[in-house]
Amino acid sequence: MAIIIRNMQYKILHFINSNNIPHDVKAQMLELVRNVYDDNTAAQFIKELKNNLYEYIEVFDDTNLIALAGLMNSGLDFDIWEFAWAMVREDYRGKGVGKLLNDERIKIIKQYGGKKVLCVTQKTWHLTRNGFRIVHTFANGDNLMVCEI
């Protein structure tokens, strides 16, 4: 699917099964994780990708991956979902791409019949704009956030 934000056209892909992600796209995913985080986080990401833990939303400009985010059913109940892994390439931040990732994940979760979305994060501003609220702050500074959709 293609979408235009602020006069920029982006292509959005949704991978339900990480085993179906083409190898060149996986390489771009890994490079994005390394650029946003570090090699240790990239190693954890590889493990999760191999274990097919998440569905992924990926945003591309002409040919390059510029953002990705994960989602999964929480296992707590059929209508409770979780957000995981949200990252936008630095040169695309502030252009609405992060909100696009959240909007797409929420749209998909609604299609699945989801009613609530959970997320644990230290950065809350990017989720509050999608209706998330903090329900608990842990001792390490992480916040448990929830959104009823």
Convert the pLDDT of each residue in 64-86 to its tens digit.
999 999 999 998 889 999 999 99
Token couple for 33 = 């994780």
Are the C-beta atoms of 102 and 126 separated by less than 8 Å?
A: yes
Pairing of strands 8-15, 55-60: antiparallel
* pTM of the predicted model over 0.85: yes
pLDDT tens for 11-54 read 999 999 999 999 999 999 999 999 999 999 999 999 999 999 89
C-alpha distances in Å from residue 116, one per residue of 15, 81, 101, 112, 127: 21, 6, 17, 11, 13
pLDDT classification of 62: cutoffs 50, 70, 90: confident
